[in-house]
Structure 1
Amino acid sequence: MKLSRSILAAHIAVREKPKNLRPEDLPLFEHEFKKKIDPVELFQLSNISIIKNVIFSPARLKFYTSLSNLFTVPKMKLIRKLWLFFLPFNKIENAIWISDEWSIDYFHWLTDALPRLIVVEELMAKDTVILPDSFKTKSYIGESLDLLGFKAYYNNYKRRLAVKQLHAASHIAPTGNFNKQVIGRLRDRFISKETMPFRKIYISREKATKRKITNEAAVIELVSVYGYEIHFFEDYDLKKQIEIMSQTKSLLGLHGAGLTNMLFMPCNGQVFELRNENDAHNNCYFSLASDLDHEYYYLLNTGDIEDTHRVEITVDISKLKTVIELMHPVIH
């Protein structure tokens, strides 16, 4: 029996440019305007084992690390896992695999893992999703599976799990990139196409442990004048976040997981990202906005360090006002 088959062809993703792109900022974005997205394969594996969250076929003596990992796993590290094969184990009949070492994070769960589930679901009947035991700590993982009609099996990595039939899609796109067709289908599973958006939402990171705005009080004062609601998404369950975002026309926030929630906005929204200056690497929200058919705006801000994941930025309030007024022109 053939173990895999192609289900999505390779293609070139073409992104819409930022609506307020300045010529001098072109080097930050131009390498993302066109991106090669590899084909997607569906795997049907029989009588396999999950050993410390890696897929192993005893019959073929093969690890399927391309399905369970983003990065190369050293061969000796894989071999050292095999001692679990000779200990008592758990069993499950049919299951789906969608995760890798980054999937526990909010952005990667919604934009990397769940798209893999969507393409498997469309070709197979619903099954249990195998996840590492540590994923139980993230409420949005179980909530999202419930909303999509799936059950989770949280695997104890200290014991081998024998699976009679495992279905898995290869990664849909390199992380930070997307398959426009699939990410659109995922959005449609969460929100109604009849939703009429009207809200303007500002996502605060005041409660976050890193990546903050030093003058956020001034930012909030300004955006409130333009009708933006201030929200702390970590205070809400996933269902509440989806409810808010399905009514949202304009989303504004600092680079961070909260911007992932543009996934739950109806098409033709506006996304405004506050970015760390000179960062040409972290373009995931620009690319996501384009593939979800949202207008993308940005503002570069002075940061205390180059590392966008740990930076604290200071926003130029007058420049912020200029971009907001470009998004929401006053009609006289």
Structure 2
Amino acid sequence: MSRPIESQVRELQAATHTQEIERAAEAAATLRSTLQERSLSELLADLEQAFANENWEVAISVINELDQRVATADPDEQILTEKARHLLATAVLDEESQSELRSRVELESALALEQGMLLASAGTALAAKQTSSSVSETIQSVSQSTQTFEQTAETVERVADETTTPPKVTVVNPAAVPETLAAGSTKQVEITVRNIGDATARDVTVSLSPPSFLAVSPENAQIGTLMNDAEATSTFTVEGTEAGSGTFEVVIETADQNGGTTAVEVTVTAETKDVIDALTGTDGEVSFAELLTAIEYYNSGEAVPNTGGAQVTLQHVLIIIERYNNNE
């Protein structure tokens, strides 16, 4: 059993204060792993407890994880919602099943909105280091909506097992499309699609329809046939040709026209930033949230957005830790 989140945060803070980089990196990785393993309901309970105890560093850690959950929605949950939509559109259902499936579809959008409101209100309260009744009320509202949303999964699976539907191909991982890209840089994008219908989908084609400031190759990917629940992944190269902001569409075409379009917002920046500026801003101060983010990038080896593909080095972490310690 892992140690409580509060204890793990204290370990990270202790390593940071003594500038033990590897110890801090290990502590951050352990904390991240613990948070990732917790359900959304558990994270909401952790956040409510952190605010009640005025433990701001724990609250920040939990909010960081919640923010990532909101930004990269669970693909399995998204697929279940798409199945609910497909069943409502194509199957003959009793009133109770229709009601529960509609609830699933409606709750997905409502829950995303509530989660966004929670992150905003919690961020404001954290900035002032004050507890807030509105944060507590929003946490409870999101918790209730989350439990209801999770309960609908059983209904979707049950109705899907009892019903035969035509093919329906949908995107499994819309988050694979980069939200930001530096002008002049390229990124390999892997788009995975799945046939969530019962019948076989034929002549499946995936293409990316980018705004004018992005170039994509190849123009499309021929997948062919997809059986029930089968997946296929296509790789595209995306290049930011100039600065801009707009909608990037993943277009799926099939022989029976049961494909669709998934839209993703994308921003291309004209200038690349220094790694430290990209992570912490230019005011010279470093918050605990920014420290966590920096160490997570150091651990993962992933490129920092808006830096032209630069990674966080040991030297970057040292500078960020020093600035964090100087804030206190």
Query: What band does the TM-score fall into relative to the shorter chain?
Result: under 0.3
Higher helix share: 2
Q: TM-score, normalised by structure 2?
A: 0.26
Higher strand share: 1
Q: TM-score, normalised by structure 1?
A: 0.25
